[in-house]
Amino acid sequence: MTTAPTIRRIATRGIRVPLRRPWGPDVRDLSLVEVVVEDSDGAIGYGFSWTPQIGAAAVRAHLDHDIRAFALGRAADAVTLWQPLWEHLHEGGGGGITTIAMAGLDLALWDLAARRAGLGIADLLGRRHETAEVYGSGVNLHYPLDELVAQAGRWVDAGFDAVKVKVGSPDLARDLERIAAVREVIGPDRRLMIDANQRWSLERAERAIGELAAFDLAWIEEPLRADDLAGHVELRRRIDVPVALGENLYTHYRFAEFIDVGAVDLVQPNIVRVGGITPFRAIADLADDRGVALAPHLLLELSAQLALTLPGEHLVESVEDASFEALGALAAPSPVTVHGARVRTTAQPGLGIRFADDRADAAASVIHTEES
């Protein structure tokens, strides 16, 4: 009888990636934690956790101590490990740092399994599509109007049929001017989404969306604080624009709550924030069962591959100049490539996401050096 491989080693590395286009005056780089897992047969898998600004040190500490202590010696299988690990860590919180840290190990175990099978992750999970649609996205609320207009023009030139722009300025008139300018650039036929990043109160959201709806919006993203379930229920009752949210929801239970009370039209789980591929697939199954649309949040190289495994069409977000490939963070060719408004895989094994050695965060690396 063959014994299933167990987890023999878990190592972490802090990574800092400068952004080509800052996401704000104080957001000029991204923080990640690379996770390397080795099983008892010597097979290796590579995963990562992504914060991107707050909590990287805490995530790495969680991996180096609580997660490592629980996982070593257990079966090197992402699906069987995830739930007992989550239950073990739950005393420290069911989401946030907990699930972000868990994602690093979950992704590494899926990468290991795909590499062992000689497949990319989409083919290991069961590919349903060869391509998925990409939409242009920008972290651009701080852009002057001329820069925003120029960005919208680049999306049109790239062939995108859908774009997303940030809103939530202190002065609603500024948002109206900017969205009007973007709509003029992209024309009447492309889908236009807006993202308020939790900036509004219920009353301000109702007023702002009421005025911005004139520009034929495909969705309003995160209009209120992400954990305000009652507020979203009431807002959804008051407006006609579809509501998208989920990048700051962390568990299957929270997604079920928002879906089942009719607070959301489209869910946007972030694969790392929810805890990796294992819970992402459960959330995708939930959305499909309830008839709610899904669009993965950020992380193009990972999100696109998983979108190809889901039933139906799912939009994939491409933030301008912010993919790992565009930031020069990868040690090998990207696992995906974008042509026009479509993304496809490039036959890389596993997740196909390995970070370059020169991206190590030297300041963080002195904190945790233990590898086993």
Q: How far apart are CA 190 and CA 255, in angstroms?
A: 29
Q: Beta strands of 273-364 (E only): which ranges?
A: 293-294, 316-319, 336-339, 342-345
Q: Are residue 314 and residue 248 in the same domain, yes or no?
A: yes
pLDDT band at 360 (very low <50, low <70, confident <90, very high): low
> Between 142 and 3, where is the model more confident?
142
pLDDT mean across residues, the chain: 95
Same domain, 163 and 220: yes
Contacts of 55 (CB under 8 A, 6+ apart): 96, 97, 100
The span from the CA of 159 to the CA of 135, in Å, is: 9
Residues annotated as catalytic are 166, 297
Count: domains in the chain: 2
Q: Do 133 and 95 fall into the same domain?
A: no
Query: Is residue 352 one of the residues assigned to a domain?
Result: no
Question: For the segment 305-333, what is each residue's pLDDT rounded down to a tens digit?
Answer: 999 999 999 999 999 999 999 999 999 99
Q: Which domain holds residue 263?
A: 123-345
What tokens does 81 get?
A: 């490990």
pLDDT confidence of 284, banded at 50, 70, 90?
A: very high
Asked whether residue 292 is assigned to any structural domain, the reply reads: yes
pLDDT digits (tens, 9 = 90+) for 101-120: 999 999 999 999 999 999 99
| Residues whose CB falls within 8 Å of the CB of residue 359, separated by 6 or more in sequence, listed in order | 15, 16, 17, 329
Can you give the pLDDT at residue 359?
A: 59
Same domain, residue pair 321 and 174: yes
Q: Are 52 and 150 in the same domain?
A: no
The reply to whether 160 and 273 lie within a common domain is yes
What are the DSSP E strand ranges found in the chain?
A: 7-18, 29-39, 44-50, 132-137, 162-166, 191-195, 217-221, 243-245, 266-267, 293-294, 316-319, 336-339, 342-345
370 part of a folded domain: no
Residue 350 falls inside a structural domain: no
The answer to whether residue 351 is domain-embedded is: no
* Same domain membership, residue 152 and residue 32: no
Q: Helix, strand, or coil here: 7?
A: strand
Q: Which residue has the tokens 């959305």?
A: 287
Residue 173, domain member (yes or no) = yes
> Domain of 37: which CATH number?
3.30.390.10
Instruction: Compute the average pLDDT of residues 88-113.
Output: 97
pLDDT at 370: 38
φ/ψ region of 73 (left if φ > 0, alpha if ψ in -120 to 50, else beta) reads left
171 and 76 in a common domain: no
Residue 361, pLDDT above cutoff 80: no
Average pLDDT over residues 124-141: 97
